[in-house]
């Protein structure tokens, strides 16, 4: 009774507010809108959310993803089961690289239990994103989700995680049908986004846990979401929705079964996935701007312990050239190991991590005018970004 009364009161308040706004608009016909977008967002934030309705709205766009490295039921039982989400009626699906980026095909289970085969279109380990496409999509069964803008997400925003959770370490569970018992079809968990990391703590920790994302890949992410939303095994690659039902991130790693660990789960921003997917679908490839300058750490730093030691005890202040990649714009401009970068485009040199983001978020062919100090000499160089060659695996900007 109390809940019904509260719900009726909420409806009355919202109806009364709408009526009042309508009266104000009628009195002032010169006003083009009765409420600003900022005020509308405030009202939206303060209005109670109907979570079951939100789940009903988005659940049919969430799928289970089972990579199929070999045609064997043993491989299905032993392999990873993750999640994904449909983004268009053509059957394109986004998931994590560590879920399906290393297998050419996958079995996808839709919201109604239908199995469909999907092929790998492209994968981006540096974003932890993979793009799949259903081989024979049935458009009537596909319900694409809406992709949001992760740049607008703030700490404290509510977030809803959906996927196919399960655990290979459960007890007294019949595993004869791994889809039914490991991939539990669909669940939902909800709490808040607790932070936006822009440093290297996440890729370092991810690499430490042995999940396959090395430092050179983790550094491509402009930021990463920390969330308090519980993430279970099998949620990887699934969508993290905002309160409007828009995808703001991919659920990528859950802190584990311990309650404290579950306060620090991670999600890859959807904008990274969108940039990658749009480039692949429109141009057939995704190019990464590249200068060939190792300015965060030298190439011999290739594990978390070495990185922490270098940054804390060896890396000098400012922006320095630790290595120059062969056949790169930096080499063609004459840069050498040991050069100090004094200026970038008439501005003081940014932090190495900030310079990395500036380059990666820029366009191919973008110019960088740098002031260089080499010993007692100071001079200017002009560099232009080019697409990073696929054979370049060591991180560089």
**Tens digit of each residue's pLDDT (9 = 90 or more) over 339-364:** 999 999 999 999 888 898 889 888 99
Question: How crowded is the C-beta side of 183, counted as CA atoms within 13 Å?
Answer: 29
Q: Is 332 helix (H, G, I), strand (E, B) or coil?
A: helix
Sign of CA dihedral 206, 212, 217, 221: negative
Span 28-34, average pLDDT: 47
Q: What mean pLDDT, rounded, does the chain reach?
A: 79
Share of the chain above pLDDT 70, in %: 71
Task: Give me the pLDDT at residue 311, please.
Answer: 84
Task: Give me the pLDDT at residue 20, please.
Answer: 44
Name the residue among 54, 141, 133, 151 with its Cα closest to residue 91: 133
Task: Give me the pLDDT at residue 256, please.
Answer: 52
Spell out the long-range contacts of 121-125 with Cβ–Cβ below 8 A and sequence spacing 24 or more. Answer: 121/92, 121/280, 122/276, 122/280, 122/285, 122/286, 123/97, 124/97, 124/276, 124/286, 125/97, 125/101, 125/212, 125/213, 125/217
Task: Give me the pLDDT at residue 261, please.
Answer: 53
| pLDDT tens by residue, 85-137 | 999 999 999 999 888 988 899 999 898 888 999 999 999 887 889 999 999 99
Neighbours of 175 (CB within 10 A): 12
**CA-to-CA separations, 216 to 68, 196, 232, 307, 326, in angstroms, rounded:** 27, 20, 27, 11, 17
Share of the chain above pLDDT 90, in %: 41
Sign of CA dihedral 308, 309, 315, 317: positive
Structure letter (DSSP) for residue 151: G
Task: Give me the pLDDT at residue 22, please.
Answer: 45
Residue 8, pLDDT above cutoff 60: no
Residue 159, pLDDT above cutoff 50: yes
Task: Give me the pLDDT at residue 257, please.
Answer: 47
Question: How crowded is the C-beta side of 80, counted as CA atoms within 13 Å?
Answer: 23
Residue 31, pLDDT above cutoff 60: no
| pLDDT tens by residue, 176-208 | 554 454 445 567 888 899 888 766 556 655 555
Neighbours of 132 (CB within 10 A): 30
Of 15-24, 115-124, 214-223, 252-261, minimum mean pLDDT range: 15-24
Residue 97 structure tokens: 């690289």
Higher per-residue confidence, 297 vs 263: 297
Task: Give me the pLDDT at residue 133, please.
Answer: 97
**44-48, 52-56, 229-233, 254-258: which has the highest mean pLDDT?**
52-56
Q: Quote the longest CA-to-CA distance of the chain.
A: 81
- Please tell me the distance from the alpha carbon of residue 202 to that of residue 206, in angstroms, as a whole number: 6
Question: How crowded is the C-beta side of 68, counted as CA atoms within 13 Å?
Answer: 14
Angle value at C-alpha 84, between 79 and 90, nearest 5 degrees = 120
- Please tell me the distance from the alpha carbon of residue 71 to that of residue 303, in angstroms, as a whole number: 35
Of 138-142, 180-184, 227-231, 235-239, minimum mean pLDDT range: 180-184
- Please tell me the distance from the alpha carbon of residue 83 to that of residue 65, in angstroms, as a whole number: 5
Confidence band of 44 (pLDDT split at 50, 70, 90): low
């Amino acid at each position: 009774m109390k809940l019904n009364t509260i719900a009726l009161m909420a409806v009355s308040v919202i109806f009364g507010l709408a009526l009042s706004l309508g009266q104000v608009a009628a009195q002032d016909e010169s006003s083009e809108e009765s409420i600003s977008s900022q005020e509308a967002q405030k009202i939206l934030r303060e209005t109670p959310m109907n979570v079951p309705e939100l789940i009903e709205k988005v659940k049919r766009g969430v799928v289970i993803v089972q990579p199929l490295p070999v045609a064997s039921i043993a491989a299905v039982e032993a392999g990873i089961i993750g999640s994904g989400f449909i983004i268009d009626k053509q059957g394109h699906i986004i998931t994590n690289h560590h879920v399906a980026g290393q297998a050419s095909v996958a079995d996808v289970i839709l919201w109604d239990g239908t199995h469909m085969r999907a092929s790998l279109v492209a994968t981006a380990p540096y974003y932890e994103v993979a793009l799949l496409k259903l081989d024979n999509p049935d458009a009537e069964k596909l319900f694409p989700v809406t992709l949001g803008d992760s740049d607008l997400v703030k700490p404290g925003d509510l977030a809803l995680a959906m996927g196919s959770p399960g655990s290979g370490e459960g007890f007294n569970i019949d595993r004869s049908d791994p889809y039914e018992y490991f991939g539990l079809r669909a669940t939902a968990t909800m709490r808040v986004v607790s932070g936006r990391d822009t440093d290297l703590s996440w890729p370092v920790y991810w690499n430490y846990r042995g999940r396959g994302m090395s430092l050179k890949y983790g550094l491509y992410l402009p930021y990463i979401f920390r969330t308090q939303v519980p993430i279970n095994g099998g949620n990887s690659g699934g969508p993290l929705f905002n309160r409007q039902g828009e995808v703001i991130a991919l659920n990528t790693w859950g802190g584990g079964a311990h309650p404290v660990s579950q306060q620090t789960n991670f999600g890859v921003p959807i904008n990274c996935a969108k940039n990658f997917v749009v480039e692949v679908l429109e141009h057939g490839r995704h190019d990464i701007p590249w200068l060939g300058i190792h300015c965060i750490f030298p190439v011999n730093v290739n594990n978390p312990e070495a990185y922490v030691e270098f940054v804390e005890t060896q890396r000098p202040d400012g922006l320095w050239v630790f290595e120059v990649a062969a056949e790169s714009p930096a080499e063609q401009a004459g840069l050498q190991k040991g050069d100090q970068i004094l200026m970038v485009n008439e501005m003081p040199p940014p932090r190495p991590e900030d310079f990395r983001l500036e380059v990666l978020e820029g366009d191919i062919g973008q110019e960088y005018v740098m002031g260089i100090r080499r010993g007692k000499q100071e001079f200017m160089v002009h560099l232009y970004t080019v697409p990073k060659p696929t054979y370049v695996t060591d991180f560089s900007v």
